[in-house]
Amino acid sequence: MSKITTQKHGLRPAEAAAAIGSEQLFHEMKIAGWICPVVRRHKLTLYDAGDVAKCWARMLNGEIPPRAEDGNL
């Protein structure tokens, strides 16, 4: 019996950071304006999975977000 999996379209911040591979890199992408939440409510913040994929594609094309200074963390 096979399992049917569904693709998540909205990712919580920890899931988006895991998809990118690094919390620091995800934070730098947010500061650079590469990615913004599509839902921001009282306790819910979601990022579009397609936007996360676009950020990763930018990295594959050689772009690197500016390094976050320690004061910006």
Question: pLDDT digit string (tens) for 14-73?
Answer: 999 999 999 999 999 999 999 999 999 988 999 999 999 999 999 999 999 988 775 454
For residue 58, what are the domain limits? 10-72
Q: Model confidence at 9, in pLDDT bands (50, 70, 90)?
A: confident
The contacts of residue 8 (CB under 8 Å, 6+ apart) are 15, 49
Residue 25 lies in a domain: yes
Total domains, the chain: 1
Residue 5 lies in a domain: no
pTM of the model: 0.78
Contacts of 57-60 with CB under 8 Å at 24 or more apart are 58/34
